[in-house]
Amino acid sequence: MKFALPTILVVVTVLLMALALMGAGASRGTVGIAVGSAFYGLTPKGDTPQQALTNLLVDVQRRNWDRAFESVSKTSGIDEQSFIQDWIGSNGSLRSFSSLEAFDPRPLHATNDDAEMRIRLHWTTPVGPIEDVRDIRLIREGDVWKAVWPRVQVPNVHAQVIPVNYLRWDLVTGGAADQWGSGNVDAPHVRIISMNAVDSAEGAIVMGEVVNEDTIPAFVNVNAVLVDRAGSAIDDESSFDKIDHILLPKQVTPYRIDFPGFNLKNVKNVRMDVKATLVPASADPVIGVMKQKIDSDVQGKSVLHGDLLNQSGQTVNISHVIVSFYDNNAKVVWVADGYVDRALLPQSTESFAVEIPKFVASRVQNFHVVVDQYTLGRS
């Protein structure tokens, strides 16, 4: 009898483990690493398109690159190193600092030997969570399915000389008596040229544009305070990263300030404040915005698409696109932003996409794009 209790505990433990494995292998529609087996070597066989794609993505999360690449069809025409680079990025890009947190696969169509899946990828990045949507084709090879992975297009930058003729402003620090904003050293003159407050599903939003009216560059930040009917401040927020902080002379930037959970029906007034500080700056690297167009993406959402062209000889590690959208009265009705997760190499282009919410898309008649950039060692 003294061995009965330990024996029962062992049997119950084994049964629970088996049930857990069966439940994980049979689950569908779950997100990320929860799909499939949690034990190395016990990954369910990729005998369906969804299971094959799930196996691939689980191995990507775990950075088991050899196993992940085994789920890629040889008809893809992509080598393992290019496949890995597609996931981990290069040249100090945003993807290089990101991790695949979760994923959500959804079938689009399937036959006995061919299928197409749509995956929503959830990334954790230094600038916050980012989502990416991809459509992946899978084919049957024997008794398993494998992904036909798209070939990665890597810009080929040729050796060349790029002339440097941009403007630059250096900051010379004076003695202890020289303080910015006092004496003969004034802070740059910046001005809020438009403001619009709207309600959204996430809360109240204050947005508009700011211009640097001075002849020197400025580091700019916009703050807003919501005031209730009694005249009391109920919340204050700043533009944070929804603004191009460094403005060259005469440059205009959108700004957006979010107040999560607040509704404008409880707000009587919005107090605005713009702060500007003199900073060193340069007009290089020059990034051109090309082929701008509003259309629908694969999910039917309105999206502003375009290309960024790096006209300089420097590598831009992270590009940040900020867009102000206008109605037919030239009023700012929305401000949105998006990051390009691949590095922008010299004389090369990368595409960008910024989503326009459904409730405002029909009112958009025009837009203005600015590009903020981060270069390692300079930002």
Query: What DSSP character marks residue 240?
Result: T
13 occurs within a structural domain: no
pLDDT confidence band for 21 (50 / 70 / 90): very low
Q: What was the pLDDT predicted at 39? A: 46
> Do both 249 and 266 map to the same domain?
yes
- Residue 75 and residue 190 share a domain: no
Note whether 52 and 151 are within 8 A (CB): no
Average pLDDT of the chain to the nearest whole number:
86
**Euclidean distance between CA atoms 14 and 17, whole angstroms:** 5
In one letter, which amino acid is 72? V
Same domain, 142 and 103: yes
Q: What is the pLDDT of residue 159?
A: 84
Q: What is the CATH number of the domain that holds 197?
A: 2.60.40.10
* Angle, CA 360 vertex, CA 356 and CA 362 arms, to 5°: 95
Same-domain pairing of 264 and 296: no
**Within a domain: 10:** no
Query: By CB neighbour count within 10 A (0-12 exposed, 13-18 middle, 19+ buried), where does 317 fall?
Result: buried
One domain for residues 224 and 298: no
Tens digits of residue pLDDT in 265-283: 999 999 999 999 999 999 9
Other CB atoms within a 10 A radius of the CB of residue 140 amount to 19
Summarize the confidence of residues 34-49 as an average pLDDT.
62
The answer to whether residues 244 and 291 belong to one domain is: no
Q: What pLDDT sits at residue 171?
A: 83
What's the pLDDT band for 174 if we cut at 50, 70, 90? low
Residue 299, in any domain of the structure: yes
For position 94, which CATH number holds? Answer: 3.10.450.100
**Is the confidence at residue 249, as pLDDT, over 60?**
yes
Type of residue numbered 274: V
- How many other C-beta atoms are found inside a 10 Å radius of the C-beta of residue 242? 20
pLDDT beyond 70 at 33? no
Residue 119 contacts residue 104 (beta carbons within 8 Å): yes
pLDDT score recorded for residue 175 = 63
Instruction: Count the helix, strand and coil residues of the chain and give each as a percent rounded to the nearest 5.
Output: 20, 40, 40
Distance CA 278, CA 51 (A): 56
Residue 54 pLDDT greater than 70, yes or no: yes
Over residues 101-150, the pLDDT tens digits come to 999 999 999 999 999 999 999 999 999 899 999 999 999 999 999 999 98
Domain boundary among the residues 115, 148, 181 is at: 148
- Among 148, 178, 212, give the residue marking a domain's end: 148
- Residue 23 is predicted with a pLDDT of 42
Q: Would you state the pLDDT for residue 154?
A: 76
| Residues 80-88, mean pLDDT to the nearest whole number | 93
Q: Which domain holds residue 213?
A: 168-282
pLDDT band at 345 (very low <50, low <70, confident <90, very high): very high
The reported pLDDT for the residue numbered 180 is 52
Residue 9 maps to a domain: no
The verdict on residue 18 lying in a domain is no
Residue at 188 is within a domain: yes
Tell me: do 311 and 365 sit in the same domain.
yes
Domain edge (last residue) among 234, 265, 282: 282
Q: Kindly state whether residues 219 and 333 are assigned to the same domain.
A: no
Same domain, 334 and 351: yes
134 and 177 assigned to the same domain: no
Query: Diameter of the chain by CA atoms?
Result: 94
What residue spans of the chain are helical by DSSP H?
Answer: 4-26, 49-62, 65-70, 80-88, 358-361
Quick one: which of 49, 53, 78 has its CA closest to 68?
53
pLDDT at 194 > cutoff 90: yes
**Phi/psi at 232 (nearest 5 deg)?**
-100, 145
Please tell me the distance from the alpha carbon of residue 197 to that of residue 270, in angstroms, as a whole number: 8
5 pLDDT exceeds 60? no
pTM above 0.85, yes or no: no
Q: Is the pLDDT of residue 340 over 50?
A: yes
Please report the pLDDT score of residue 36 as a whole number.
Answer: 37
Residue 275 sits in the same domain as residue 299: no
Computed from CA positions of residues 146, 148, 149, 151, in that sequence, does the dihedral angle turn out positive or negative?
Answer: positive
> Predicted confidence band at 176 (pLDDT cuts at 50, 70, 90)?
low
Give how many domains the chain has, as a whole number.
3
Decide if pLDDT at 20 tops 90: no
Nearest of 309, 295, 300, 369 to residue 338 by alpha carbon: 369
332-353 mean pLDDT: 94
Torsion, Cα 92 98 103 109, to 10 degrees, reads -10
pLDDT of residue 173: 72
Closest to 86 (Cα-Cα) out of 132, 32, 126, 41: 132
At 155 the pLDDT is 77
56 shares its domain with 97: yes
Answer yes or no: is 253 within a domain.
yes
Decide if 11 is inside a domain. no
